[in-house]
Amino acid sequence: MGHKLNLSVRLRAVASYAVSGLPLADIGTDHGYVPIYLVDRGVIPSAIAADVRTGPLERAAEHIREYGLEEKIKVRLSDGLKNIRPGEVSQVLIAGMGGGLMARILAEGQNVLHEDGFCRLILSPQSEVRLVREELAKSGFQITEEHMVKDEGKFYFIIIGEPGDCDYSTEEDFLFGKRLVENRDEVFLEYLEEKRRKDEEILTVLRKRLETGEEDEKILSRIAEIEEEKRRILVLYSLAGGEKETMVKRISFTDEDRRMTSVEVVVEDFEDDDMGNTDGGEAERLYRDFFVSEEETGIYAEHPVLKEPEVAYGHRKVSGEYTIEDYYRLPEGVRIELIDGVFYYMGAPIATHQIIAHKLAMAFSLYLEKKNGKCEVLPGADVQLDRDDWTMLQPDIVVVYDRDKIRNQIYGNPDLVVEVLSRSTRKRDRTIKLHKYQKAGVREYWMVDPKKKMVEVYIFPDLEMATLPRVYKFEDRIPVGIFDGECEVDFGKIYHSIEDLMERENN
Contact 444, 458 (CB under 8 A): yes
Q: At what angle do helices 351-371 and 491-506 cross, to 10 degrees?
A: 170
Per-residue model confidence as pLDDT tens digits over 358-413: 999 999 999 999 988 788 999 999 999 999 999 999 999 999 999 999 999 999 99
Phi, psi of 92 (to 5 degrees): -125, 135
The pLDDT of residue 419 is 97
The one-letter amino acid code at 465 reads M
Q: Which residues pair with 249 in a beta bridge?
A: 265
Q: What average pLDDT score do residues 69-89 get?
A: 94
From the CB of residue 16, how many other CB atoms can be counted at a distance below 10 Å? Answer: 13
Reply yes or no on whether the pLDDT at 238 is more than 90.
no
What are the CA-CA distances from residue 165 to residues 112, 140, 141, 143, 144 (Å)? Answer: 18, 6, 6, 9, 10
* For residue 258, pLDDT beyond 80: no
What H or E segment, with its residue span, contains residue 202? helix 186-211
Q: Looking at residues 460-485, what average pLDDT do you find?
A: 80
Q: In this predicted model, which residue has the larger pLDDT, 430 or 479?
A: 479
| pLDDT at residue 277, rounded to an integer | 36
CB 137 within 8 A of CB 161: no
> Of the candidates 240, 229, 233, 80, which has an alpha carbon nearest to the alpha carbon of residue 146?
240
Cβ-contact 131, 100 below 8 angstroms: yes
Residue 506 has pLDDT above 60, yes or no: yes
Dihedral of CA 346/347/353/354: which sign? positive
Choose the most confident range, by mean pLDDT, from 128-132, 207-211, 336-340, 469-473: 128-132
More confident site: 78 or 262: 78
Q: Give the C-alpha distances (Å, rounded to integers) separating 385 from 349, 446, 450.
A: 22, 16, 26
Q: Is the pLDDT of residue 274 over 50?
A: no
If pLDDT is split at 50, 70 and 90, which confidence band does 299 have? very low
How many Å separate Cα 355 from the centre of its chain? 31
What is d(CA 324, CA 388) in angstroms, rounded to the nearest whole number? 8
Per the model's pLDDT, the better-predicted residue between 470 and 414 turns out to be 414
Going by pLDDT thresholds of 50, 70 and 90, the confidence category of residue 34 is very high
What is the rounded distance in angstroms from the CA atom of residue 122 to the CA atom of residue 103? 13
Residue 84 pLDDT more than 60? yes
Q: Tell me what the mean pLDDT of segment 262-277 comes to.
A: 53
The answer to whether residues 76 and 107 touch, using CB atoms and an 8 Å cutoff, is no
DSSP string, 273-314: -TTS---SSHHHHHHHHHH--HHHHSS-TT-SEEPPPSS--S
Mean pLDDT throughout 150-179? 90
Q: What spatial distance separates the first Cα and last Cα of the chain, rounded to whole Å?
A: 61
pLDDT band at 434 (very low <50, low <70, confident <90, very high): confident
| pLDDT (tens digit per residue) in 48-71 | 999 999 998 999 999 999 999 999
Report in angstroms the alpha-carbon separations of 494 from 164, 359, 440, 490.
Answer: 62, 7, 30, 7
The kind and range of the H/E element at 57 are helix 54-66
Please count the other Cβ atoms lying within 10 Å of the Cβ belonging to residue 447: 21
Q: Name every residue whose Cβ is closer than 8 Å to that of residue 269 and which is 6 or more positions away in sequence.
A: 243, 244, 245, 246, 278, 281, 282, 283, 286, 424
Closest of 466, 470, 428, 423 to residue 446, by C-alpha = 470
The answer on pLDDT for 455 being more than 50 is yes
Can you give the pLDDT at residue 204? 82
**Going along 152-294, which residue ranges are E strands?**
154-163, 247-254, 260-267
Mean pLDDT of 492-496: 94
- What Cα–Cα distance (Å) separates residue 104 from each residue in 91, 108, 137, 378? 18, 6, 13, 60
DSSP single-letter state for residue 404: G
Residue-level pLDDT at 280:
39
Is a pLDDT exceeding 70 seen at residue 256? no
Residues 6+ apart with CB under 8 A from 154: none
Q: What is the pTM of this model?
A: 0.52
- What's the chain's average pLDDT? 82
The predicted-structure confidence for 313-344, as pLDDT tens digits, reads as follows: 344 576 778 899 989 888 777 788 999 888 88
As a whole number of angstroms, the distance between CA 358 and CA 379 comes to 8
Count Cβ atoms below 10 Å from residue 499 Cβ, excluding itself. Answer: 13
Q: What is the mean pLDDT of residues 147-159?
A: 91
pLDDT band (50, 70, 90) for residue 254: low
